[in-house]
Amino acid sequence: MTYPHPVIAREGWPHVALVALAAGATGWLAGWWWSIPLWLATAFVLQFFRDPPREIPGTARTVVSPADGRIVAVERTQDPYLHRDARKVSVFMNVFNVHANRSPVEGEVKACWYSAGSFINAALDKASRENERNALWLRTASGIDVTCVQIAGLVARRILCYARAGDRLARGQRFGFIRFGSRVDVYLPLEATLKVELGQKVYCGATVVAEL
């Protein structure tokens, strides 16, 4: 599960190579002015797949943001995976955010659930129920359960998750990636003390979301 943080995420290498090759070929065959739109597209793909390293704050009871983006939900609700009352924190990622996902807590992956679905705007709350999604059930060393759900968005068509049941994840460890706009929900126990508010900008692995 170790990842050395190159400048561009490994998930983006084929995309960057393809667009850059098309830009270079167009410039060579048709003239460099005609290739400008493709070079701009290459710059967009490069920024989308950037994957900067992060300093992970806190202690074993700290919950960090699993994604870059903006907080679009902070509410009490039902955890649909562990069937309990929970506090939900949702992070919406637009196409200009870093799209790597990191574990919100240190713990063991108890189970993974994948659900096929639609691709409505991930900023909408109903995306949590209707969109394609992949959920991880994490249990900390102190026995606290946290659910982290990757959710595809309007443009996203690929959820990547490298964690499996039985794996152990460190807090802030990279475990997946979602391509082209999406959302991540975190379900926490009711006793959790939340540290974020609606509309706040957060950074994957670096922003403290809650204390358990």
Are 79 and 137 in contact by the 8 Å Cβ rule? The answer is no
End-to-end CA distance of the chain: 25
Identify the three-state secondary structure at position 191.
coil
CA-closest candidate to residue 88, choices 142, 127, 140, 141: 127
Lookup: tokens for 149: 């759900």
Dihedral of the CA atoms 64, 69, 73, 76 (nearest 10)? -10
Lookup: tokens for 186: 């975190």
Q: Which of 35, 90, 103, 182 is catalytic?
A: 182
Lookup: tokens for 15: 């995309």
Nearest-5° angle of CA 121, CA 110, CA 128?
A: 15
Q: Is 65 a catalytic residue?
A: no
C-alpha separations of 96 from 35, 44, 48, 50, 129 in Å:
23, 9, 6, 10, 24
- Just list the catalytic residues: 182
